[in-house]
Amino acid sequence: MSEAPAPRLRPCDRAKAGATRAARPSRPLLRGVLALAVLAAGLHAPRGLAAADGSELQRLPSLGEPDSGDISEGTERRVGEYVMRQIRRDPAYLDDPLLLAYAQALWNPLVRVARARGEIVAETDQAFAWETFLLRDKSINAFALPGGFVGIHLGLIAQAATTDELAAVLAHELTHVTQRHIARSNSSARRQSALGLAGMLLGLLAAARSGSPDLAQATIMGSQAAMAQGQLNFSRDMEREADRIGFTIMTEAGYNGAGVAAIFERLQRANRLNDSGNFPYLRSHPLTVERIGEAQSRVQQAQAQAQSASLGAAGGPVGQTVRITEQRLALDLPSQEMHQLMRARARVLMELQVPALRRWQALAAQDNAVEDRVATLYSATLASLLLGEPRAAQRHLQELQARPLLPSSRPVVDMLSAEVAVAEGQAHRATAQLESLNGRDRAVRLARAEAALKWLQQSTDLRERAKARQALQLHADGLATWVIDRKHDALAWSVLSTCHQALDQPLRAVRAEAEARWALGDLNGALDRFKAGQRLVRSSRTPDYVEASVIDSRLRDLERERRRAFAEIRGMREEDLPPVLPPNVPL
C-alpha cells in the first residue's frame, strides 16, 4: 500500500471543519513560549510548565561569545530562523499567495531604497532574509524579528486605510532591522540574552494572541524586564530613529509620508475607544504625543517642500500632483484599489467563524458608498465561497465584474472568479480562465495547479479525465520547475505533493511532502517522509530510480543537518556525538 501525504485542506474546507481554531495559537506552542518567556524574565514557571517544555528551552543558539558585546549577523539570522520555525507551526501562520504577494509588493520598494541609501550594509544584506510573513490574527500588529523577518497581522492590513499607511508601518519595521535594534538592545550577548530575546518575541506573539490582554501584557512586561531594565530611554530613541529613517525610506520609495501620521492617529484613536487587547502594536511601539507630533511635523515639512517645488515647475500644484501619480505608476507601487481589495480579503480571512462571514454577505445587501462597493462585493464573494454557497458567490461576483477596475486589479478578480467556477463544479472553466493570467506569478501557478486538480476530481467522462490529467501534469511540471530555485516554498511543495498523488505518482508525492515539512522547519517530519519514500522504493516492482536517488541524497543531507543542529543546540562538537542519535529528538 502506498504512503500518501496528509491531505491539505482548502480555505472552504477549513471553514466548514470548524476553522475558528485557526484564530488561536496552538496550546503546546503557547505553553512552550510562555515558559520560555517567564524563564527569560527570571521568574518561576508554573508547576509542570517548564518540565513539559524544557526541551524547547535548550534549543537557542548563543548570541555570541560570553565576553563579546557584538551579535553577528549570522547569529541574529539563526535566532530569527529559530523563532520562525515555531511560528510556521502555529495554526495562525498563513501563506495566502495573494495577500503575501501584496505585502511583498509594498515591502520590496522599501528594501530597494534602504539598500540605495546605504542603510543596509553588505554583511547584513547577505545574511538577512528580508521576508514578510502573515498571521491570521485580527489584532493590529506588525513586528520585526532578528534576521530580517517581518510579521504582519491580517488585522493591520484590514485597519490600514491606504497603501501609504501600511507602507509606513513596514518602513518603520524595516528600519528596526536595518539599524539592528534588536541586536543593539541585547548587546550583552550571553546565552541568557538569547532566552530573553526569544522569550520576548515568542511570548509577545503567543500571549498577545491568547485572547487575554492581561496575560499578554504580563508576559511582555515580564520577558522584557530581565533584558531591558535601564534601557527605556534607549528604546524610545530606537523608536524615534525608526520613525525618522522609516519616513525617509517610504517617501523616497514613492509613498506618501502622510501615511505615518495617519496610521498613528488611527491606531491611537481606535485604541482609546476600544482597549480590548487588539492593539499589541501599541504596546510594543508606544505612541507618545511627541512621536505623533514629530510625524505630523515631517509631513508638513515635506508638503511645504513639495509645494515650493511645484510653484516653479510646469503646471503648478496640479502638475505636481500628476507627476506624483506618474511616479507611483513608474515605480510599480500597488494602487489604492488593490489595497482595498486586499484589505477586503484580509478582513474575511482573519475571522472564519460563520457569523463573521454572514456579516460580509449582509453588508453587500445594503447600499454602500461607490468607493467601498468593490471591496464590499469582493468580501461578500469570498465569504460566500468559504460558507460553501457558490450561487451567492456568483451573484456578488457578477456585480463585481461589472464594475470598472484598473488593469492591475483585474487579475485578482479573475482569480476569485476561477474559485467560484471550481465551487460550482466547473473546474474546467476555471482552468481555462487562469490560462490568460501571468504564469510567472506564484499565486497564478498555484491556482492553476489546484484548478486542474479539481477538474480531474470532478470529471467522470474518460475523455474529459484525460484532458484534465494532461492539464494537471503540465501544471505539476511547472511547480516542479518553480521549486528548483525556491526550495523553501512550503505551500508550493504541498500543492505539488497533492498533484503527484492525484496523478498516481506516490513516490514523488511523498518526496514533495517531505520537502514541504523541511521548508516549514519540521526536520523530524521531513526525515520521516523521506524514509517513507525509501520504503516505497523497496516495495515497488517498478521503482523510479531517479526519484529514489534524489530521496537518498536528501535524506543524507537532512541527517547531516540533524547532527549539526543536535550538536549546536547542546554546545557540543559533531565529532563528540554518538554514532546514532536518539529518534525524534525535538529540533
Query: pLDDT tens digit string along 52-111?
Result: 333 333 444 444 433 334 678 888 888 888 888 888 988 899 999 999 999 999 999 999
> In whole angstroms, what is the distance from residue 204 CA to residue 215 CA?
10
Model pLDDT, residue 464: 96
Burial class (CB in 10 A: 0-12, 13-18, 19+), 311: exposed
Is pLDDT at 2 greater than 50 in this prediction?
no
The mean predicted confidence, pLDDT, of the chain is 79
Look up cell 528548483; give the residue: 484
Pairing relationship of beta strands 131-135 and 93-94 according to DSSP bridges: antiparallel
Model pLDDT, residue 582: 77
> In whole angstroms, what is the distance from residue 560 CA to residue 542 CA?
29
CA 515 from centre of chain: 19
Question: Looking at residues 182-205, what average pLDDT do you find?
Answer: 58
Write out the E strands in 259-411: none
> In this predicted model, which residue has the larger pLDDT, 47 or 119?
119
List residues bridging with 145 in a β-sheet.
Answer: 149
What are the tens digits of pLDDT across the range 298-328?
888 877 777 676 555 555 554 544 444 555 5
Model pLDDT, residue 12: 46
Q: Which helix (H) or strand (E) holds 338?
A: helix 336-349
List residues bridging with 144 in a β-sheet.
Answer: 150
Query: Are 96 and 345 contacting, i.e. CB atoms less than 8 angstroms apart?
Result: yes
List residues bridging with 134 in a β-sheet.
Answer: 94, 152
CA 238 from centre of chain: 25
Is pLDDT at 478 greater than 60 in this prediction?
yes
Q: Which helix (H) or strand (E) holds 132?
A: strand 131-135
Residue whose C-alpha is closest to residue 61's, from 180, 190, 176, 177: 190
Helix and strand tally (H, E) in the chain?
28, 4
Q: Which helix (H) or strand (E) holds 366?
A: none
> In whole angstroms, what is the distance from residue 78 CA to residue 129 CA?
11
What are the tens digits of pLDDT across the range 270-302?
666 555 555 555 455 555 567 778 878 888 887
List residues bridging with 131 in a β-sheet.
Answer: 149
Q: Does the reported pTM lie above 0.85?
A: no
**What is the percentage of the chain residues whose pLDDT exceeds 90?**
53
Look up cell 530569527; give the residue: 80
Number of other residues whose CB lies within 10 A of the CB of residue 78: 20
Question: Looking at residues 410-421, what average pLDDT do you find?
Answer: 98
Residue whose C-alpha is closest to residue 495's, from 514, 516, 481: 516
CA distances from 22 to 187, 273, 361, 456, 487 (A): 36, 27, 21, 29, 26
**If you compute the radius of gyration of the chain from its CA atoms, what whole number of angstroms results?**
25
> In whole angstroms, what is the distance from residue 406 CA to residue 410 CA?
6
Model pLDDT, residue 453: 98
Q: What are phi and psi of 389, to 5 degrees?
A: -120, 80
Half-sphere exposure in the Cβ direction for 308 (13 Å, CA):
6
Model pLDDT, residue 201: 62
Q: What are phi and psi of 566, to 5 degrees?
A: -60, -45
Model pLDDT, residue 169: 95
Model pLDDT, residue 326: 52
Query: Are 396 and 419 contacting, i.e. CB atoms less than 8 angstroms apart?
Result: no
What are the tens digits of pLDDT across the range 152-182?
999 999 999 999 999 999 999 999 999 988 7
> In whole angstroms, what is the distance from residue 216 CA to residue 545 CA?
53
> In this predicted model, which residue has the larger pLDDT, 527 or 326?
527
Model pLDDT, residue 299: 83
Query: Are 499 and 493 contacting, i.e. CB atoms less than 8 angstroms apart?
Result: no
What are the tens digits of pLDDT across the range 7-57?
343 444 434 433 333 333 444 344 444 334 333 333 333 333 233 333 333
Is pLDDT at 194 greater than 90 in this prediction?
no
Identify the top-confidence range among 10-14, 203-207, 362-366, 380-384: 380-384
List residues bridging with 149 in a β-sheet.
Answer: 131, 145
Model pLDDT, residue 312: 55
Is pLDDT at 188 greater than 50 in this prediction?
no
What are the tens digits of pLDDT across the range 205-216?
665 555 444 444
Residue whose C-alpha is closest to residue 586's, from 35, 27, 57: 57
Burial letters for 163-183: b for 16+ Cβ neighbours within 10 Å, e otherwise? Answer: bbbbbbbbbbbbbbbbbbbbb
